[in-house]
Amino acid sequence: MNTESKGAAAQPPSSVVKVEVYSGEFCGYCTRARMLLEKKGVSFIEYNVDREPEKRAEMVKRSQRSSVPQIFINDQHIGGFDDLSELDMDDELDPLLGITS
């Protein structure tokens, strides 16, 4: 089941950005990735690879990785939560998400 989430943020994205998150059940890093994206006010499509096994195969094909989460922004593979968080700490995430200060 695909779900779309949106959180509230002070600085909404300035353009439409496609964000996809491949996640799993009972995945703390998946929860943290969702929380970071929601905090930034970014809508995203979430694929639960435990509920949709075909999405796991798609994720591995796209990312060459089998762990979750795997995050894509405008079809660019970002990596997992640690990669997403590092981009945020380096002030490189907001530009990818179309967020202006």
The structural domains of the chain, with segments of one domain joined by +, span: 18-97
pTM of the model: 0.85
Residue 96 has which token pair?
């990818």
Per-residue pLDDT of the chain (101 residues; tens, 9 = 90+): 555 544 444 455 546 899 999 999 999 999 999 999 999 999 999 999 999 999 999 999 999 999 999 999 999 999 999 999 999 999 999 999 999 87
Region for 72 from its dihedrals, namely left if φ exceeds 0, alpha if ψ lies in -120 to 50, beta otherwise: beta
To which residue do tokens 């990785």 refer? 65
In the chain, the DSSP E strands lie at: 2-5, 19-23, 44-48, 70-73, 76-79
The CATH superfamily holding the domain 18-97 is Glutaredoxin (3.40.30.10)
Are residues 59 and 34 in contact, defined by beta-carbon separation less than 8 angstroms? no
